[in-house]
Chains A and B, each alone.
Chain A
Amino acid sequence: MKIRSLEDLEEIAHRGIQKIKGEKIRIAVGLGTCGIATGADYVYTYFENAIKDLTERVFLTKVGCFGYCSEEPLVKVTIPGKPLTILSKVNPEETEEILRAVLSGEIPDKKALCKIEEWNHITEYMVYGKGLANIPSYSDLPFFRGQLKLVLRNAGLINPEDLEEYIAIGGYKSLHKALNMKPEEVIEEVKRAGLRGRGGAGFPTGLKWEITAKNESDEKYVICNADEGDPGAYMNRNELESDPHAVIEGMIIGGYAIGAKEGIIYIRAEYPLAIKRIETAIKQAREYGLLGENIFGSNFSFDIKIVKGAGAFVCGEETAMIASIEGKTGRPRPRPPFPAEKGLWGKPTSINNVETWCNIPIILAMGGERFSKVGKENNAGTKVFSLVGEVKRIGLVEVPLGTKLKTIVHDIGGGSPSGLKVKAVQIGGPSGGCIPEEGFDTPIDYESLRDLGTIMGSGGMVVMSEKTSMVETALFFIGFTSEESCGKCTPCREGLKQMLHILHKILSRRGSEEDLKLLEELSMTIQTTSLCGLGKTAPNPVLTTLRYFREEYEGLINDGKD
């Protein structure tokens, strides 16, 4: 069926609701890459076999990742009229017992992590039911208490391979709304929201769209940057795996706003599940007429295609990405001209990060004004971080911008699991830096992080304990960027190689004060003179560790002296 109107959308929403909270018991297994890594696919298969003769009463389905990765596999059970319950660390062997309990209207307490009585999908409000007094509420768990799920509002709750479920929670209503506005009004709304790009640099999204829209051209493009390559970061993977339609909806709205008929999702080939889900979502959106000619019966037409990256980190940089899509080697070129002026095939192009696109339907649903109130002045909205490393509770954490670092590391993450002291947090991947414990009072916003010598980056957050060597950490990141440097410009290609050499020398206790000085000088030159963001930010891990943990470098140098 082709959706032409709001009524059509509502009809499908009705079908979707039946799956989410219908008359049957719903068992939803979290099947993101993180879940699958811990055996969730076996859990799913066991359930599948066990309910073979029970399909009249039980509806088994797949959902994405709910973010609490250290508790995977997660299974969400909804008994009609009762709260949705999340069961954690479910073994395949436990499925039968769970099923038996659930069929008799019970939830096995010892497996239950928490319950959700009602849920704000932003685009829709879902009320499940009350009861199950023994099970803690979602908002009582320390991991979830400080979080605000806007981008991840659907992740782990709906089936990402079923468009009807996305529509059931208010999906594509924002698109309908946008198509009934003028393109300029849509851009105005995004500007009012104050959304800044989530790919790292934090450029105002509305402004980028406005520039792209104003550049006259018969053809324009929007690109979704899904080349996420920072070590330790997997926000975008999860967003695509768990809620692909939110990305698609955002891109259609963006295409309409700037006057593009074609969108491209550039996704790294190392994300096979995300690719599969987004391909399925595109196919379904086409079937329902949400992609293609005359969307919602309007005269706006738009389609999306997928381009797979070939494993080069630098292709996340926008000009290298454009070259790669055009079939050339992924090497950055000087800017200006910016892609908004001369992008893909020389046409005006807006490139935005996956998470930036995810925010668009939310802004349309909430209104720019209300969205701008979330977070902090000049830093509107939330940010998803992947909290990993020496921390008790691991997973994807979404917090309003301006939240303090210690809230994430200690309150949400629960500090170090081994009882060792937390020493630092590495933010922003290879382009970012290490923030020492003394800096944990800092609010997380673009400017504060920059002042600390790091960057927001795309959201990787690696916690390190006192047993981690900061010099080795710096070496790891320089090794990464040196290997991933495209090799075009000298400071990055030759400079990082020499930095690596000096770091090795220091670590093998052959370093001197002169080496330290040279390391600093070299860092400044690479930062100042490199062509693209990779080189410009690559010295950050060294510069921040030199700034906050200089004694570790000096210790190694002095060790070598005697």
Chain B
Amino acid sequence: MVKIKINDQNLYAREGENILKLALKEGIDIPHLCYHEIFEEPYGACRLCIVEVIKDDERFITTSCTLQAQNGLEILTQSPEVVKHRKILLELYLAQAPNAENIKKLAEKYGIEKSRFPKRAFVTDHLNGKCILCGLCIRVCGEVMKAGVINYIGRGPSTKINTPFFEENPDCLGCLACVNICPTEAVSAEEVENRKILKSWSETKVKMKECKNCGSLFTTYPLWEKTKSLLMEMDTELEELCPNCKRELLIKKLTKNLPLPKPY
């Protein structure tokens, strides 16, 4: 264990422990948009998680999601220097994603009402003028779901996120991990008839799976394919049922041959 200090708080940490993770666990608020604990490696894209490190006579700014606990580490999360840069970053975000409510709220917290930078001209894009290019949707789709449906297109200021060639991508699982992880609620999806439509990702459509028994659309077809369990393989009757019908059938099957409890 090593001793560190965040603002006025003395803390113990494992050597090498991620400082942002630790701070959040301790209830210390550090704004962050591209960090998520499901990923092992920090990404370092949003730069909002900056903190000021005090080391001997030196002071410098760095991102807390890439900072590792070391004995004697001392950091400030809201020093004037940190706040100054964070405010500029928030102004940039406001201009980039004028429709993102979370960003507006965060900016308000820092006393920013209006960005000094001009807003982006088109806010009716496929991500509803809300995307701040944090990369979380790409990473969750590729690294966690192993689907790799979307990626960056282009570079620099013209960077976009979408499917290859802006075409429907048949690899999509319809899991909506991207929708759920997005910090600004930029990704939109809807269910129409028996299909999920990932509106943000070139209207990619994913077929739903119907329960053989009750007819409810209980999951998407590719997800169902992916998650067929061993149990279902042993008993194909269970295979095409929604969780409710599956549970009922299972109970029925399991209790059928059981001797009824004897009355005393």
Contact = CB atoms under 8 A, between A and B. Distances in A.
Interface of A: 312, 314, 329, 331, 333-334, 336, 482-491, 493-498, 501, 514, 518, 521-522, 524-525, 528-531
B18 to A, nearest CB: 12
B154 A529 contact: no
Contact of B132 (A490, A491, A501, A518): A490
Contacts of A483: 156-157
B157 A487 contact: yes
Contact of B135 (A485, A488, A494): A488
> Taking each of A482, A485, A489, which has the highest tally of chain B beta carbons within 10 Å of its own beta carbon?
A489
B118 A490 contact: no
Given A329-B152, A501-B118, A531-B44, A494 B85 contact: no
A331 B43 CA distance: 11
> Taking each of A312, A314, A487, which has the highest tally of chain B beta carbons within 10 Å of its own beta carbon?
A487
Interface string B40-62: 01111111001000000000010
A487 B46 contact: no
A489 B95 contact: no
Measured as residues with beta carbon below 8 angstroms from the partner, the interface class of chain B is: 20 to 34
A494 B45 contact: no
B85 A495 contact: no
A493 B67 CA distance: 23
Contacts of B157: 482-483, 485, 487, 493-494, 496-497
Contact of A528 (B46, B85, B132, B154): B85
B47 A530 contact: yes
Given A490-B89, A528-B85, A484 B45 contact: no
A489 B157 CA distance: 10
Given A334-B66, A529-B61, A530-B47, A485 B156 contact: yes
Interface string B150-171: 0110111111000000000000
Contacts of B66: 334, 336
B137 to A, nearest CB: 14
A529 B61 CA distance: 7
A494 B88 contact: no
Contact of A498 (B45, B47, B63, B95): B95
Given A522-B88, A530-B47, A334 B42 contact: yes
Contact of A525 (B85, B96, B152): B85
B93 interface: yes
A312 B154 CA distance: 11
> Taking each of A495, A514, A530, which has the highest tally of chain B beta carbons within 10 Å of its own beta carbon?
A495
A488 B89 contact: no
B106 to A, nearest CB: 13
B146 interface: no
A132 B96 CA distance: 69
A493 to B, nearest CB: 6
Given A490-B133, A501-B118, A531 B45 contact: yes
A489 B116 contact: no
A487 B92 contact: no
Contact of B50 (A501, A522, A529): A529
A518 B156 contact: no
A490 B88 contact: no
B117 interface: yes
Interface string B9-52: 00000000000000000000000000000000111111100100
A486 B156 CA distance: 5
A543 to B, nearest CB: 15
Contacts of A496: 156-157
A312 B47 contact: no
A529 B45 CA distance: 10
Interface in B59-94: 61, 63, 66, 68, 84-85, 88-89, 92-93
Given A329-B152, A522-B88, A489 B47 contact: yes
Contacts of B50: 529
B47 A529 contact: yes
Contact of A491 (B47, B84, B95, B118): B47
A493 B96 CA distance: 10
> Taking each of B44, B151, B159, which has the highest tally of chain A beta carbons within 10 Å of its own beta carbon?
B44
B45 A490 contact: yes
22 contacts: A329-B151, A329-B152, A333-B41, A333-B43, A334-B42, A336-B68, A482-B157, A483-B157, A485-B157, A487-B156, A487-B159, A489-B47, A490-B46, A490-B47, A491-B88, A491-B92, A494-B95, A494-B157, A495-B88, A498-B92, A498-B118, A525-B84
